[in-house]
Amino acid sequence: KNQVEQSPQSLIILEGKNCTLQCNYTVSPFSNLRWYKQDTGRGPVSLTIMTFSENTKSNGRYTATLDADTKQSSLHITASQLSDSASYICVVSARDSNYQLIWGAGTKLIIKP
């Protein structure tokens, strides 16, 4: 069964600190992996998208990594800011099923001043 699991469920860190969020997936055949940021009460916004051949991609202070062999991805946030408080969702696209997206439940990140 195609699944995306994220850890931790929630995380609290102090402003200015770094953090890493984890994503494990069992989706096959794999097409691409995305990370979205979702502010409370808003729709998700795309941060990064990586295909099988890419093992790292950055978007400002956000850096995503992908290990297609172990089916793991991580999202690293550097020098966190209060505006980084949000849910971060890992999404994997399957090459069959019309490239449908399998969504993780997200990690809720809270940045404290």
Q: Which is nearer to another protein, 83 or 98 (CB)?
A: 98
Minimum separation from the CB atom of position 100 to another protein (A) = 7
The Cα–Cα gap between 43 and 70 comes to: 30
Minimum separation from the CB atom of position 93 to another protein (A) = 6
Residues that bind another protein (CB under 8 A): 4, 9, 41-46, 89, 93, 98-106
The Cα–Cα gap between 66 and 42 comes to: 27
Among 104, 105, 41, 46, residue whose Cα is nearest residue 71: 104
DSSP label at residue 99? G
Minimum separation from the CB atom of position 113 to another protein (A) = 26
Q: Which is nearer to another protein, 17 or 95 (CB)?
A: 95
